[in-house]
Amino acid sequence: MKLDKRLLRSTSYAKREFYLTVLTGFVGGLFIVVEASYISKIVNAAFLENKTLQQLSTAFLLLIAIIIMRAIMVWLSEGFASRMAAKVKYALRRALYDKIARLGPIYTRKEKTGELINTVNQGIEELDAYFSQYIPQLAITAIIPLTILVFIFPIDWISGLIMILTAPIIPVLMILIGNLADRITKNQWSILSRMSAHFLDVLQGLTTLKIFGRSKDQIRTIAQYSEIFRQATMKVLRVAFISALTLELIATLSTAIIAVEIGLRLLWSKMTFEYAFFILILAPEFYMPFRQLGTRFHAGMNGVAAAERIFKILQEPELDVTDKKLIKPTNLHQDIILDNVSFSYGRDSQNVLDSISFRLKKGEKTALVGPTGSGKTTIASLLLRFIEPLQGRILVGDTLLNQIDKDYWLKNLAWVPQKPYLFNASVLDNIKFTNPQADIEDAIKAAKLAHAHDFIQQLPQGYDTIVGERGTRLSSGQAQRIALARAFLKNAPFLILDEATSNLDPEIESLIQDATDKLMQGSTVLIIAHRLSTVKNADKIIVLDKGRIIEQGTHNQLITNNKLYSNLVKKFSGKG
């Protein structure tokens, strides 16, 4: 397994724990040598020098103390390693959440939700073994064998030379096996991510699957994914078992060679028993870090595979990066100007917006009209700061929008989407989402303005009723009124309204339209129109087609032009 420099740099999130892990590991290595020295001395004194237990009592007590201290060092090293892993995971998970938040919904729409969730949760957890086991063991493997060699070489250079010659075989084999294991493990992680994404997709579309009688087909598909994942996992386990066997065999044979050459020299009286026994005790300890590294090497493989996806997200270029000093203007209730704005969702793709210029006048209602794909949603995304123009500029009064602090800008903007997202929380929490500091009286007032108060009171727990994930326990009209209540509570000077009164009962549509009219009073409003009947009273209508403005004016002006707007009105006149 190649050392991932990005993961190694991540240890900087827990430098103190990393250094303490290495330090306690080094001290533990010293205690190994001291322990072996005392054991060899005691055995030599007891069996060859015929010393009594009373004479050796002090040495025994010191040996017990050394064994305890060695155990404490191991315990401390593992504890510091676990704390290091926890800190690094926390830092990476936070960095990942922040990065996805900065990339915004434009990025997440392109990705599979299940795969992203798997990366943020399971992917980060897979790094635990890498940081708590593999990285510390890597440091210990570099320290302890060298420490042992420092003590062995002055005593017996032959045994030391054998250790030096045999030790490199283990890392070489680990590299050879690691290249194979790395490819297999990455494939396993890729399959797991795809399976997670597919399973979430099935859960979210379960209603549709049941209605069309396709749920059993998905059971078979998930079973196929599971079988493919099982086979990939078995391949990883086979490589792990083979590598473990190989490493154990090399370490055992190397120790046996040392034992044989020491035994022969003892037989020929070329070495004292105490030194021979001392080296024989240390020989397995010399190879032990290499054997443990092989085991922990495989434990950390999943972390390396997951890291590929984690760092791919973290290195994703951001659309709104700016080196300019961001400002917070005292007055944002001004004209908003789009000046020669162009945008494309990919380097090689066609412009979604092509040299768009128009003005949203302070306190006026402006409607965007056009066929699907004309660029209406892209303009809204630009104003919401989800994306930045590739060309041109957007101004708020005389200030460039990208010079305004993004969070400050969004606090002064209210957005009512066509399909509002409600969280699995209470009605009150969902209304207060735009203004968490608001008290319940203000939330109720906002709900009344949105014509939501009456139906909320009829819910089982009123404002404390949990609405379910995505507001599944509410109807479309109720969810829309909760979204309007959010906007009323925020009371922002700029409102983006993704008109959403279609496919509702006439009575509910009338309530929402009335609430919307109240909400727009005094605000600068941009309406993304899906039904032309809702834009007749707009101060200005901008007609888009293929990313360009082809006409603009009031309803009465445009209806007489006999162009796209007039044709759209005639085409949909029967629908409202």
The per-residue pLDDT string of the chain (576 residues; one tens digit each, 9 = 90 and over) reads 456 778 888 888 898 999 999 999 899 989 999 999 999 989 988 888 888 888 888 889 999 999 999 999 999 999 999 999 999 999 988 988 888 888 877 777 777 777 777 777 878 888 888 888 888 888 888 889 999 999 998 888 999 899 888 888 877 777 677 666 767 777 777 787 777 777 777 776 776 776 667 777 777 888 888 888 888 888 877 877 777 787 788 888 888 999 999 988 888 888 888 889 999 999 998 988 888 887 777 667 777 777 888 888 888 877 554 545 678 888 888 889 999 999 887 766 678 898 899 999 988 889 898 888 888 888 988 998 888 888 899 999 888 888 888 888 888 898 888 888 888 889 999 999 888 888 899 999 988 888 889 899 998 899 999 988 778 888 888 888 898 899 888 888 898 888 655 556 667 777 777 888 788 888 888 988 766 667 778 889 999 988 899 988 888 888 887 778 887 777 766 443
SS3 467: coil
Q: Which CATH number fits domain 336-412+492-575: 3.90.180.10, 2.30.30.180, 3.40.50.1820, 3.40.50.300?
A: 3.40.50.300
Cβ neighbours of residue 454 closer than 8 Å, sequence gap 6 or more: none
pTM over 0.85: no
Query: How far is Cα 132 from Cα 117, in angstroms, rounded to an integer?
Result: 23
SS3 172: helix
Distance in angstroms (rounded) separating the CA atoms of residues 336 and 366: 11
Residues for the chain: how many in total?
576
Q: What is the pLDDT of residue 321?
A: 47
Domain with CATH 1.20.1560.10 in the chain: 5-314
Burial of 28 (0-12, 13-18, 19+ CB in 10 A): buried
According to CATH, where is 3.40.50.300 located in the chain?
336-412+492-575
- Letter for the amino acid at 376? K
Beta partners for 553?
541
DSSP structural state of residue 350: P
Give the count of beta carbons closer than 10 Å to the beta carbon of residue 103.
19
- Residue 347 and residue 340: Cα distance in Å, rounded? 19
Cα angle 335, 340, 344 (rounded to 5 degrees) comes to 115
Q: What CATH architecture is 5-314?
A: Up-down Bundle (1.20)
What's the pLDDT tens digit per position in 81-120? Answer: 999 999 999 998 898 888 888 887 777 777 777 777 777 7
**Collapsed DSSP state (helix, strand, coil) of residue 547:** coil
